[in-house]
Structure 1
Amino acid sequence: MDKKYSSYDQINADLEMLKLEKEIHLQHILLNIDKTKESLQPENLFQEALASLKLKLSNSYGMILQIAIPYLINWLINKKRGD
């Protein structure tokens, strides 16, 4: 879609808007680069790995308990019987 301008002020206003949008996008890219560099630091990688492991274990915690509790109950019953 072609835009029709009736004055140089309109052209200059659009050029200024485009310049500001370009600067915003550039700053956004630079911020993302900084965040990426920070996340790739060894201590941050280690913390992310621990957080991921903790999340996986917490998600499987219920399943582990469902499997382990019946075995624990049977073990306690058999221990009381002296088996």
Structure 2
Amino acid sequence: MTFASIQFLFYFLPLFLLLYFSAKQIKTKNFIFVVFSLIFYSVGYTPHLLILLFSIAVNYYVALAVDRNEGARRKRFLILGVIFNVL
């Protein structure tokens, strides 16, 4: 699915906007945004979804490590996360 496709413009986008703007809480809006993003990526080519999910998991755990540490160790985790994302 591309941004200019009929499926995106007339089905996917209106459904996303309806659900997103009808949600009251920011956590619900964020959840809707993430779910629709994952659906969008999976429709194009499913292996891309697996790569994206792996990247999300690694970044989540690196962010936890950065948050839990201080000083030089914190900086090492941050550098590790940046290197992972560049590769």
Identify whether the pair has TM-score above 0.5, normalized to the shorter chain: no
- The structure, 1 or 2, with the larger RCO (C-alpha pairs under 8 Å, 6+ apart) is 2
- What TM-score do you get using the length of structure 2 for normalisation? 0.30
**Which is higher, the Rg of structure 1 or of structure 2?**
1
